[in-house]
Structures are given as C-alpha cells and as structure tokens.
C-alpha cells in the first residue's frame, strides 16, 4: 500500500518536472515558428485569468462574466504610468496589482453578497459599463487606447521577441498555478470549496463566508490584473475591446471548457480556446466567404455542448488515464489540537426561555422553555411540522427570534451571528446532509476544525501553514476514526451511503471540540445495527462530557438513549420529562397517534 | 434644456421604454416558465428588424436560410439524442416539421419577395420566419439541460447568445439597416411634434400586452404555462408536458421579439449585433421588477427608456454606463430583501 502510493507520488513528481522541462525547452527547439510562441504567450496570458475564474467560479461558485475588466485595470494602470510618468514597466507591477485588487475589493464589497444568478447578471452589467468607461476616458486615449508602450527590458535587452516574453509570461502562470493549488489545499481552500451550495454548512463551522468570498474575488481580480500588466507591455498597446464583455465571456468559456473545478483546467481551457480561435479566424471566413468573428458561433456551441455533455470540463477526462493523486498523508504524530475542558456534569448549559418564532401569521415555535445540562442527552421529539428544526435554526442563529431568550453558559446568545454562536463550541449536523460531495470525507470533516486553526490565504499560498494543516488533518482523521469511517476516509463524500454521510457530519461536528452537539435526525437512513452502534457512540460522547440535543423520529432510539425528553406539537411544548414518563403521557400519545377515543 | 426638449426626450424615452417593456415581459415569461435568463432575446429583435429591412428591399432575408439551418440542427440532434426511442411516425413528423416547413417557408419567401407585397404582408412573413426559431433554439440548446440550476442555464444562454450573434453576422452581414416606418407622418400635440410611428409603437405594445393577458387568463395553454411557472413538478404531475410548455414559451418569446424588431427597426439603424444592448435594457427592466411581475416590468422599462434618453442628452458618452449601473443597486436590494436562495446543484 505504502509502496504503491510512493510510486504514484514519484511518478507524479517526474511528470511534473518533465512537463516543466518541455515547457522551458519549447522556445529553444529549432524550427518552432515565432507565431507559435506568440500564441503560447497569449495562452499564458489567458491562463492567468482563467485560473482566477476556476477559483472564483468552479470552486467558489461565483460566476463572473466581467473578469476582462480587471485585466483592463491592470493594463491601463501600467500603460498610463509608463507612458505619462516614464516609469519602468517592472516598477508598475505593484501599482497594477494594487489597482486591480482595489477595484476587486470595491466591486466585490458591493456584489459578492449577491446570490447565484444575480451575481452573474451583475458581472455582465459591470463588464459592459467598464468597457464604455475605458472608451470614454481621455486619459485612456478613449476608444483608440494607448499605443507605443515600452516593452519589458532586462539591462539593455528588450523583451520584444515572442521567444523572450514567453518565459516571463509562463513564469507568471507557473507561480499562479502553484499559489492557487497551495491555496486550495488548505484551511482556506476548504472554506472556499464549502461556499457552493449556499455556504450554510460553512457558516455553521465558523467560516466567515462573506469574507472568504471577498478573498477569492480579490485573488481572481489580482490574477487578471497581473495578466493585464503583462499584456500591456508584451502587446505594447491597450484599447477597450480586449477588456469588454465579449472577452469576459471568452474567459469563462475557457474555465468551463477546461474544467472549472481544477487549476490546470484553466490552463487547458485557455490553450484550447486560444488555438481554436486562431484556427477558426483563419478557416471560417474562407469557408463562409466573408470576413467577421465567426469563431463565436463555434465558441457558443462549445459552451452549450460542454454544459450538456460534460459539465466537469475536459481536464478530468484528459487526466483520467494517469494515476490519481495519492491520498492525503496523515501525520499521526502531529501535535494534537488544544482542547477546551468539559464542564462539570450537571451544570446548566443551555436554556430556552419562552422562545417564540412567528412567520407572519404562523407561530412555528410558541413560547417554548426548557434546559440542557452538561453531560446530558436531551431528545427533542414531535410530529412533522412541530417546530423542531426551527428551534435548531433559532439556536444556531440562522433565524432570528421573535421573542424570548436563549441563554448558554450564562450568556444570552440569541441575536448573535451564527459564527459567534459556533465559536462558543456549539456544533451541529443537518437534517438534509450538507457535505461537499466531490471532496473527500477527510476534507469535509476537517472543515469542522476551521475555528481551531488560524492560517489564512497568504500563508496557505506560501505553504507556511503546513504544521497547523497537519494538526487539523490529524484531528479530522481522529474524529473519522471515532465514528468508524476509517475505510471511507479518502473517498468522496458523495459516494457514501446516507447513513455514513450522517456519521461524517457527526465527525465534522466533533472536530469543533464542542460542548454542545446538535444532531438533527442522525438515525434517519441507518439500518438497525447501525442505529445501535450510533446509540452506543453517542452515550460514549456523553460520558466524555459532551451534551447532546437530539431531534429524532425513531422512538426506540430516543427512548433508550436520552436522559430527558421534550415533546413539541404545532410549535408548543406539550410535555417534558424522563423517557418513561413521556411514553406513558396521554397527551403525547394523542399528539402522535390521534385521539385514542 | 427647455420644455420642448424635455418633452421630446420624454417622448423618445417612452417609445424606447415601450419596446424594452415588450422585451422585459418576454424575459420575465421565459424565466418564470423555464428558469432561463434568456440573454439572446435581443438577437430575435435585431433579426426581426433586419428581416423587415430585407423584405422591403426585395432580398430574401437571412432568417429564411437560418431557419432551415436551425431546423436541420434540431432534427439531427433530436434523432441522435433519442434514436433509441423514436418511432417511424415521429421521425416523419420531425422531418416534416423541422426540415419540410422551413424549406417551404424559404420557397414561399423566395417567390413572394420580388412581388413587394407591402408592409403588413412583410410583417406577417417576418413573424412566420421568426416564431419557429424560438422553439428550435430551445430544443437545440436548453431542452437537454432543462433541469439544471438557474446558473448553468444562464451560462448556456450566454453561449447561445455568442453563437446567435455570430450567425447573425453570417446571415445578415455587417451592414446596418433601417426599414421605413409603418406610418410616416408627424402631427402636433399641443406644442410638441409627435411622430405617428410613436403612437403606433405604443398601440401595438398595448395590444400585445392585452393579448398576453387574455392568453394567460382565458386559454388552456396559457394556464398550463402559468401552472408550470408556479410549480414545475406539480405541473408535471397533472400531465403538463414541461417540454411542450418550454417550446410554447419560446415561441411566444420569439413572437414578442419579432414584433419588437418590427417596431424598433424604423426608429434606429439596426446591425446584426445591435440586439444585445437592446435586449440587456429589457433585462435591466425585468431585473428591476425581480423577474416576476409583468406590470412592474413595464413600469421599469419605461423608466429605463426615460433614463436612457435623458442621459443621452446630458452625458451621451456615458449613457450605457448609467443605464447598466442602475442594475447594481437594484440587484443589491433584491438580493438582500429576497434573503438566501439556495443554489444547490
């Protein structure tokens, strides 16, 4: 087993260096036409933008048709600075990056909170607006743009030749690929991946989704700005049209075509679109006997066809014949994460005090009061629509209370944001499992430990986070072990049976080192033996001092497990007490079975 | 600016607004029934205008040949996708409907064009050529992914837009056209010169709106569309074919697009790619109205038209910037007021 993964790793290592060497040698091969090198340069420039889009759209789920505008910010900044003030193009790099990042920040602040297609529409709006803006600013030379820009120079050698700029561009692409892959393979990367599907799960483990979105957005803008800076001095001219909406759509096509979930997919997509565009621009006008941008017909068909046939893009198909990347290495002797002490058994932990939730006319939770003590399992039961899940959502800050109070460890926590509540070590699972399906169980579970790490985007990109990352992964592995999913650790979460997915959610919750564990129907979808195992496991957690608030429909399961039961019906608490008392309670029987008479 | 100019700008704005309203209503309709944010609606408008122009000059319009091409593509794709389940009778119907009918239309247009039949006949021909395009586009591009998320459908719509603009260039060329107006007269209303064409535009828009209202309130297909818009699964369960509603909706949208094209042609020179900007303004209106309400869309469209015509006067270079930037605050308000909508894939 170990040998095999080592071999795969060595193979991958060799592949990586071989492809790098091939890339480096490409311009030196005698007889390679200059034009190919120019094309390769364009591919590199587009790759930078497409890589940003992979992170933004493919991984983070935010679709942008307006990336070309950020290329424009980088390009125009450098163009104006070199042209007007005579600064060397090397010195304008920080300015170009800051300008694009700043615009990214500004536009991001306004737009990333938009959801789904609204964000995509908004990117179209700004894509068009900036095109007209670029074309109407006197400084930017209006629609004519600015030409005759200075090239990059090293000493007295100007990088005018395509052969010379090739290395500069691809060095930038290489750096972008490495930084992006590092970022995705980290605490921040998990947070970005968890943004898809609404980000509710991410928020429930303390991820500040708005901030993470903004970071990805700015990162994508930075890469686009970098591409623009290079473009300005390789092309030595800027004008509005390469930064318009059409270009923005082309960049998105690259990401969709190449495989929007993979960094290399961006490069593959950029290569395909750039080469295809070049060939089609030659071929189609001759075929149709007229001149014009007919390649768009093919591009549009490709885009729709890709969505119809292979939504994951080409890169996953291209790399299928090669060995899959080895499983993540768990450093078993990594320093364990710090744990907080458990509370003494029996201390009051959580109190619902006349909690009420009204959705306009409907009272979903009607002045409910009860408490949970440390080291206790409380079962919350009631027929469908009794308000159990609503109560969970009130407790975790997903919904605001209409009136009443929730007191936890002596502090009122109602009115706090979800993240602030999670930070008090309240972890949850979801009634409808919320795992990221294509991520491994390990990575999904590690998201639970988000608040126990600190590393941000920059330290992830520079790999300064490895010690902490090893500790987080070791903790995740430990919890996976605890729930008995070791065999499944490296499988994609979506490939697990529903019962196993529920266990994975519990493992993720345990990664938070919780004082209070909220379980929403953990036994649903489990077989009899599995239910018994789960019950044993939960009572072991109770022994370890974790309190559990449990919503469950399986009466046997709850009755045997819980110390205390609370029964809700139509939002109102109708009974509360030890399981035996509840089972004998006529009001409860009526609520469940209807009137016996 | 004096009162006369202000009134003139207002007239201009309202006329353009009426056309944006037609577009906006089509977009809302498409989104409600199929969840597709149909960016290429503008292309249908441009093609409507260009078809009118071609018919007027006595040339066989590009749309006639394009229809044959689209029909061929749709029939071929459907046979590839469903070759296992297709029966002979279905194939014959497919061939008749997707290849026979466009060819017949092409022949008819070729025969009729040199006769210069006049504006009304041209308008009818334009409708006949454009309406079938809607369902064809739906079948080619969207039907196989009808259940995908709004976002995926939106990206596909952008792809379709890309292709259609290219096709527009191929079939119509890069030249701009401006068909002559239906009524070429002006009259004085108070101190303001009113173009009869303007009144005509407003009248037709009103008629289309009333027609749509009757269609949705009184007819079975109309009710089926409304049912699908409210609940796709529920509609399916009571036997409404989602495929068919999709096709009907696209036919309707194409008809509205063609009418808008016929109306807008005489007001401004139309190029093969003009449609996009016109369509996007319909979009701004539809989005301001939250892609849900028809009356609000009409109001918003007129607002967009006015905003455009006044900003064209005050800051003509920035008129597009102003109109499209309007969308951003509106989207923000919408997104926050609408709460979290889950985009599960």
Least confident of A126-135, A146-155, A279-288, B312-321: B312-321
Residue of B nearest to A111 (CA): B332
Of the candidates A117, A142, A145, the residue with the CA atom closest to the CA atom of residue A132: A142
Residue B162 has its nearest CB partner, among A111, A113, A299, at A299
Q: Are residues A234 and A367 in the same domain?
A: no
Query: Do the domain assignments include residue B23?
Result: yes
| Rounded-to-10 torsion of CA A229, A230, A236, A237 | -50
pLDDT of residue B288: 81
Asked if B137 reaches chain A (Cβ–Cβ under 8 Å), the answer is: no
> Are residues A307 and A439 located together in one domain of the fold?
no
Number of domains chain A contains: 2
Q: Which of A60, A67, A116 to mutate to test the interface with B (most CBs of B within 10 A)?
A: A116
- A150: number of Cβ within 10 Å: 17
Residue B203 in any domain: the answer is yes
Instruction: Specify whether the CB–CB gap between A149 and A237 falls below 8 A.
Output: yes
β-strand pairing of A426-428 with A516-520: parallel
Give domain status of residue A336, yes or no.
no
Question: First vs last Cα of chain B: how many Å apart?
Answer: 53
Nearest to A115 among B283, B328, B341 (CB): B341
3-class state of residue A168 by DSSP:
helix
The strand pairing partners of A427, in sequence order, are A517
Q: How high is the pLDDT of residue B343?
A: 38
Q: Is B280 domain-assigned?
A: yes
**DSSP of A285-338:** HHHHTS-S-THHHHHHHHHHHHHHH-TT-SHHHHTTTSPPPPPPPP-TTSPPPP
pLDDT score, position A198: 67
Structure tokens at B34: 């199929």
A331-to-A182, A336, A456, A510, B198 alpha-carbon distances in Å:
18, 11, 21, 19, 76
Yes or no, beta carbons of B327 and A121 under 8 Å apart: yes
- Asked if the C-beta of B216 comes within 8 angstroms of chain A's C-beta atoms, the answer is no
CA distance A354 to chain B (A): 26
Instruction: Report chain A residues whose CB lies below 8 A from the CB of B148.
Output: 307
Closest CA to B325 of A131, A533, A568, A310: A131
Query: CA B114, CA B59: separation in Å to the nearest integer?
Result: 8
Give contacts of A110 with chain B, Cβ < 8 Å: 328, 332
DSSP state of A10: H
Q: Kindly state whether residue A24 falls inside one of the protein's structural domains.
A: no
How many CA atoms within 13 Å lie on the side-chain side of A355? 32
Q: Are B133 and B72 in contact (CB under 8 A)?
A: no
Task: Give the number of A-B residue pairs with CB atoms closer than 8 Å.
Answer: 146
Tell me whether B331 touches chain A (CB under 8 Å).
Answer: yes
Instruction: Give the per-residue pLDDT at B345.
Output: 32
Closest CB to A294 among B141, B169, B325: B169
Do residues A166 and A115 both lie within one domain? yes
Check if B83 contacts A (Cβ < 8 Å). no
| Domain membership flag for residue B216 | yes
Mean pLDDT, rounded, for A20-27: 85
Asked if B286 and B74 count as a contact pair (C-beta separation under 8 A), the reply is no
Instruction: Assess whether pLDDT exceeds 90 at residue A187.
Output: yes
Residue B343, domain member (yes or no): no
Cα B281 to Cα B16, B256, B307, B326: the distances in Å are: 10, 15, 11, 10
- Residue B57 CA, distance from chain mean position: 24
Q: Do B170 and A294 touch (CB under 8 A)?
A: yes
> Could you give phi then psi for residue A404, rounded to 5 degrees?
100, -175
Strand, helix or coil at A184? helix
CA atoms of A151 and A148, how far apart (whole Å)? 9
Which residues of chain B are within 8 Å of residue A133 when distances are taken between CB atoms? 318, 321
How many other CB atoms are found less than 10 A from the CB of residue B215?
15
pLDDT exceeds 60 at position A181: yes
Q: Which residues of A touch B314 (CB under 8 A)?
A: none
Q: How far apart are CA A173 and CA A60, in angstroms?
A: 20
C-alpha–C-alpha distance, residues B309 and B11, integer Å: 9
A13-to-A532, B238, B258 alpha-carbon distances in Å? 46, 58, 59
Nearest to A435 by CA among A421, A449, A445: A445
pLDDT < 70 stretches in chain B: 1, 334-345
Q: Could you tell me the pTM of the whole model?
A: 0.87
Look at B173 and A132 and tell me if their CB atoms are within 8 Å: no
How close A131 gets to chain B, by Cα (Å)?
9
Residues with Cβ < 8 Å from A378, sequence gap 6 or more? A370, A372, A547, A548, A549, A550, A562, A563, A564, A565, A566
Question: Which of A318, A337, A358 is where one domain is finished?
Answer: A318
- Give contacts of A277 with chain B, Cβ < 8 Å: none
Cα–Cα distance measured from residue A416 to residue A394, given in angstroms and rounded to the nearest whole number: 10
- Chain A residues whose CB is inside 8 A of the B280 CB are 124, 128
B159 touches chain A (CB under 8 A): yes
Q: Any CB–CB contact under 8 A between B317 and chain A? A: yes
**Dihedral sign, CA of A395, A398, A403, A409?**
positive
Residue to substitute from B37, B137, B151, B277, interface A, most A β-carbons within 10 A: B151
Q: Which pLDDT tens digit goes with each residue over A505-528?
A: 999 999 999 999 999 988 887 888
Q: Is B158 on the interface with A (CB under 8 A)?
A: yes
Q: Strands (DSSP E) along B153-251, which ranges?
A: 186-189, 192-195
Residue at which a domain ends, from A275, A300, A318? A318
The proportion of chain A whose per-residue pLDDT surpasses 70, expressed as a percent, equals: 98
**Contact (CB<8Å) B328/A111:** yes
**Which of A304, A430, A435, A437 is the best residue to mutate to test the B interface, defined by the most B CB atoms within 10 Å of its own CB?**
A304
A202 Cα to chain B: minimum distance (Å): 14
Determine whether the interchain pair B162/A129 forms a contact, defined as Cβ–Cβ distance below 8 Å.
no
Half-sphere exposure of residue A240: CA atoms within 13 angstroms, side-chain side: 20
Report yes or no: B197 and B266 within 8 Å, Cβ to Cβ: yes
The shortest C-alpha distance from A291 to chain B (Å) reads 9
Nearest residue to B324 (alpha-carbon basis) of B272, B279, B292: B279
**Total structural domains in chain B?**
1
**Contact check, Cβ <8 Å, B151/A303:** no
Does A519 lie in the same domain as A424?
yes
Query: Is B159 in Cβ contact with A307 (below 8 Å)?
Result: yes
Instruction: Using CB atoms, pick whichever of B154, B325, B345 lies closest to residue A117.
Output: B154
Looking at the structure, tell me whether residues A268 and A163 fall in a common domain.
Answer: yes
> What is the spatial distance between Cα A77 and Cα A72, in angstroms, rounded to a whole number?
8
| Claim to verify: residue A153 and residue A58 sit in the same structural domain | yes
DSSP, res A86 = -
Chain A residue nearest residue B143, CA to CA: A308
- Asked if B287's CB is within 8 angstroms of A121's CB, the reply is yes
- What are φ and ψ of residue B182, in 5° steps? -65, -45
Q: How close is the nearest chain B Cα to the Cα of A288, in Å?
A: 8
Average pLDDT, chain A: 87
A329 in a structural domain: no
CATH number, residue A550: 3.40.50.300
Find how far residue A122's CA is from the centre of its chain.
20
pLDDT of residue B337: 63
CATH number at residue A203: 1.10.3470
For residue A449, give how far its alpha carbon lies from the nearest alpha carbon of chain B (Å): 24
User: Does B311 map to a domain?
Assistant: yes
Are A584 and A499 part of one and the same domain? Answer: yes
Minimal C-alpha gap between B40 and chain A (Å): 12
Evaluate whether B209 touches B196 at the Cβ level (below 8 Å): no
**Is residue B173 within 8 Å of residue B272, measured between CB atoms?**
yes
Residue B84 inside a domain? The answer is: yes
Residue A504, both tokens: 């994975």
Contacts of B88 by beta carbon, 8 Å cutoff, 6+ apart: none
Distance, CA of B246 to CA of A351 (rounded, Å): 52
Together in a domain, A59 and A166: yes
N-to-C CA span, chain A: 65
Q: Which residues contact B303 (CB under 8 A, 6 or more apart)?
A: B17, B285, B288
Residue B338: predicted pLDDT = 53
Name every chain B residue with its beta carbon within 8 A of the beta carbon of A62: none
CB A503 within 8 A of CB A485: yes
Contact A91, A72 (CB under 8 A): no
Which of A115, A128, A293 faces B166 most closely, judged by CB atoms? A293
Partners of residue A125 in chain B, C-beta under 8 Å: 284, 324-325, 327-328, 331
* Closest listed residue to residue A256, CA positions, set A216, A306, A296: A306
Share of chain A above pLDDT 90, in %: 35
| Residues B48/B261, Cβ–Cβ less than 8 Å | yes
Place of tokens 């828009």: B205
Domain boundary among A278, A297, A318: A318
Binary contact (A132, B163; C-beta < 8 A): no
A113, A196, A308 member nearest B145 (Cβ)? A308
Residues of B in contact with A295 (CB under 8 A): 166
Across A339-344, average pLDDT: 78
The verdict on residue A343 lying in a domain is no
How far is residue A199's CA from residue A214's CA, in Å, rounded to a whole number? 14
Domain that holds residue A241: 32-318
Whether residue A162 contacts residue A434, with contact meaning beta carbons closer than 8 Å, is answered with: no
Burial of A400 (0-12, 13-18, 19+ CB in 10 A): exposed
- The CA distance from A371 to A380, in Å, is 11
Distance in Å, alpha carbon of B304 to nearest chain A alpha carbon: 14
User: Are A307 and B152 in contact (CB < 8 Å)?
Assistant: yes
Question: Nearest-CA distance from A66 to chain B in Å?
Answer: 13
Domain that includes residue B67, residue range: 3-336
Phi, psi (rounded to 5 degrees) for A547: -90, 145
DSSP A198: G
Helices A34-53 & A245-258, crossing angle to 10 degrees? 80
More confident residue, A199 or A1: A199
Tell whether B343 lies on the interface with A, counting CB pairs under 8 A.
yes
Within a domain: residue A21? no
Give the closest of B165, B317, B345 to A296, CB-based: B165
Long-range contact pairs involving B115-120 (C-beta distance under 8 Å, separation at least 24): B116/B58, B119/B56, B119/B180, B119/B182
Q: Is A110 exposed, middle or buried (0-12, 13-18, 19+ CB in 10 A)?
A: middle
Substitution target in B37, B140, B166 with the highest count of A β-carbons within 10 Å is: B166
Q: Which residues in chain A are contacts of B169 at CB distance < 8 A?
A: 292-294
The one-character DSSP state at A480 is H
């Amino acid at each position: 087993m170990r040998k095999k993964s080592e071999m795969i790793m060595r193979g991958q290592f060799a592949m990586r260096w071989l492809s790098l060497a091939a890339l480096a040698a490409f311009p030196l091969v005698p007889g390679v036409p200059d034009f190919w090198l120019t094309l390769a340069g364009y591919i590199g420039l587009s790759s930078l933008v497409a890589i940003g889009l992979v992170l933004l759209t493919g991984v983070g789920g935010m679709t942008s048709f307006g990336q070309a505008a950020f290329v424009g910010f980088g390009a125009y900044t450098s163009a104006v600075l070199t042209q007007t003030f005579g600064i060397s193009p090397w010195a304008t790099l920080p300015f170009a990056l800051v300008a694009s990042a700043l615009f990214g920040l500004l536009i991001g602040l306004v737009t990333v909170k938009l959801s789904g297609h609204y964000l995509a529409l908004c990117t179209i709006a700004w894509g068009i607006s900036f095109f007209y803006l670029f074309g109407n600013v006197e400084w930017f030379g209006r629609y004519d743009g600015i030409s005759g820009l200075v090239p990059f120079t090293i000493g007295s050698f100007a990088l005018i030749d395509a052969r010379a700029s090739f290395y500069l561009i691809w060095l930038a692409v290489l750096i972008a690929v490495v930084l992006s892959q590092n970022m995705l393979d980290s605490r921040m990367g998990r947070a970005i991946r968890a943004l898809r599907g609404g980000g509710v799960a991410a928020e429930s483990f303390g991820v500040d989704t708005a901030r993470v979105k903004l970071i990805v957005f700015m990162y994508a803008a930075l890469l686009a700005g970098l591409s623009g800076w290079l473009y300005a001095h390789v092309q030595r001219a800027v004008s509005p049209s390469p930064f318009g909406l059409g270009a923005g759509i082309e960049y998105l096509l690259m990401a969709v075509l190449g495989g929007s979930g993979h960094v290399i997919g961006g490069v593959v997509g950029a290569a395909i679109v750039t080469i295809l565009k070049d060939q089609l621009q030659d071929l189609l006008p001759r075929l149709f006997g007229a001149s014009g941008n007919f390649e768009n017909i093919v591009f549009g068909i490709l885009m729709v066809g890709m969505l119809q046939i292979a939504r994951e893009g080409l890169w996953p198909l291209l790399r299928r014949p090669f060995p899959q990347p080895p499983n993540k290495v768990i450093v078993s002797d990594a320093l364990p994460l710090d744990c907080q002490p458990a509370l003494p058994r029996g201390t009051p932990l959580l109190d619902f005090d006349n909690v009420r939730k009204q959705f306009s006319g409907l009272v979903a939770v009607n002045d409910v009061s009860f408490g949970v003590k440390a080291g206790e399992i409380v079962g919350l039961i009631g027929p469908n629509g009794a308000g159990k899940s609503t109560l969970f959502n009130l407790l975790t800050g997903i919904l605001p209370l209409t009136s009443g109070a929730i007191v936890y460890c002596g502090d009122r926590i109602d009115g706090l944001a979800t993240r602030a509540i999670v930070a008090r070590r309240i972890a949850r699972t979801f009634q409808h499992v919320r795992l990221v399906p294509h991520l491994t169980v390990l990575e999904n579970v590690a998201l639970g430990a988000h608040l126990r790490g600190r590393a941000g985007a920059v330290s992830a990109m520079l790999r300064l986070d490895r010690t902490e990352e090893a500790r987080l992964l070791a903790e995740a592995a430990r919890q996976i072990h605890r729930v008995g999913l070791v065999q499944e650790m490296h499988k994609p979460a979506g490939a697990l049976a529903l019962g196993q997915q529920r266990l994975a959610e519990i493992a993720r919750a345990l990664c938070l080192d919780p004082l209070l564990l909220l379980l929403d129907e953990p036994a649903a979808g489990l077989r009899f033996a599995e239910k018994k195992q789960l019950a044993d496991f939960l009572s072991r957690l109770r022994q370890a001092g974790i309190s559990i608030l449990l919503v469950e429909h399986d009466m046997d399961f709850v009755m045997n497990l819980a110390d205390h039961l609370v029964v809700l019906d139509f939002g109102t608490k109708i009974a509360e007490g030890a399981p035996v008392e509840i089972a004998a309670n006529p009001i409860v029987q009526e609520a469940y079975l209807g009137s016996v008479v | 600016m004096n009162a006369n100019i202000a009134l003139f700008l207002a007239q201009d704005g309202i006329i353009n607004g009426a056309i944006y309203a037609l577009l906006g209503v089509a977009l809302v309709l498409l989104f409600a029934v199929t969840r597709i944010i149909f960016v290429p609606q503008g292309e249908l408008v441009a093609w409507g205008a260009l078809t009118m122009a071609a018919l007027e000059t006595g040339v066989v319009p590009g749309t006639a040949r394009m229809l044959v091409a689209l029909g061929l593509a749709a029939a071929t794709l459907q046979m590839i996708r469903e070759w296992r389940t297709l029966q002979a009778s279905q194939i014959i119907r497919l061939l008749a409907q997707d290849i026979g009918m466009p060819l017949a239309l092409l022949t008819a247009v070729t025969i009729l064009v040199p006769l210069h039949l006049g504006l009304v006949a041209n308008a009818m021909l334009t409708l006949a050529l454009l309406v079938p395009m809607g369902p064809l586009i739906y079948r080619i591009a969207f039907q196989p992914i009808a259940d995908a998320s709004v976002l995926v459908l939106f990206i596909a719509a952008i792809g379709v837009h890309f292709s259609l603009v290219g096709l527009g260039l191929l079939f119509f060329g890069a030249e701009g056209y401006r068909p002559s107006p239906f009524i070429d007269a002006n009259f004085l209303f108070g101190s303001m010169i009113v173009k009869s064409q303007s009144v005509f535009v407003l009248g037709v828009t009103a008629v289309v709106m009333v027609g749509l209202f009757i269609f949705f309130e009184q007819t079975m297909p109309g009710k089926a569309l409304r049912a699908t818009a409210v609940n796709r699964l529920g509609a399916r369960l009571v036997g409404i074919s989602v495929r068919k509603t999709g096709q009907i909706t696209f036919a309707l949208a194409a008809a509205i697009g063609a009418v808008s094209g016929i109306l807008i042609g005489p007001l401004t020179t139309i190029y093969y790619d003009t449609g996009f900007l016109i369509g996007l303004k319909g979009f701004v209106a539809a989005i301001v109205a939250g892609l849900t309400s028809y009356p609000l869309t009409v109001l918003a469209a007129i607002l967009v038209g006015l905003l455009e015509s006044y900003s064209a006067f005050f800051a003509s270079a920035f008129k597009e910037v102003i109109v499209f930037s309007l969308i951003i605050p509106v989207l923000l308000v919408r997104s926050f007021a609408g709460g979290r909508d889950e985009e599960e894939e």
